[in-house]
Amino acid sequence: MQNFADATREFSVHKYPTAHIYLEEIWGIRELLLDESNQSDDFLKAICNEMKLKFDKYWDQPNKVLLIASLLDPRYKVHFMKYYLTKTYGGEVASNETNDAMIWFKAYYTHYDSMLQSSSQSNHHTTGNT
C-alpha cells in the first residue's frame, strides 16, 4: 500500500501538478492494482478487485488530454505513451490511440502556428502604420 501513499504524495506535493505527473501515476496505480490482485491474501485481493472496478470506471479509455501532455514532456514523447498504452490496452489500441494523438497534436500545432503567423502579421502592420 506504500505505492498508493507515494502516488498521493506525488499529487499533493505540487500546488498545481502538471498533466504528465497524472499520466505516469495513474498508469502506475493501474499496474499496482493488477499486481496486488494476484496475491494469495483473499482480503487484499477483494479490496484490489473493488478498487480496480472503480478505477476502470474512470480510466477504461485513454484520456486524450493526458496523452497530449505526455507528448509535450521532453522525457517521454511518443515512446512513453505507446509503451504504456501497449501495456494497458494492447498493441492495436496503442497504435490507434498513438496515431489519433499525433493527428490531434499536429492539428493543434498547425492551428497554433497559423494564429502566431496571423498575430505576427497583425503586429507588423500595426507598427508599420504608426
Residue 121 confidence (pLDDT): 78
Number of Cβ within a 10 Å radius of residue 112: 10
Query: ∠14-15-19 over CA atoms, to 5°?
Result: 65
90: left (phi over 0), alpha (psi -120 to 50) or beta: left
Residue 38 confidence (pLDDT): 63
Residue 60 confidence (pLDDT): 75
Contacts of 120 (CB under 8 A, 6+ apart): none
The 8-class DSSP code of residue 41 comes to -
Chain center to CA of 32: 17
Over residues 61-117, the pLDDT tens digits come to 777 777 777 778 777 778 878 888 888 788 998 899 889 888 988 988 899 899 988
Q: Where are the domains of the chain?
A: 2-129
Residue 129 confidence (pLDDT): 55
Over residues 12-45, the pLDDT tens digits come to 776 766 666 777 777 788 888 877 656 777 887 8
- What would the grid cell of residue 56 be? 476502470
Residue 111 confidence (pLDDT): 92
Q: How many DSSP H helices and E strands does the chain contain?
A: 6, 0
57-63 average pLDDT score? 77
Structural contact between residues 52 and 71, judged by C-beta atoms closer than 8 angstroms: no
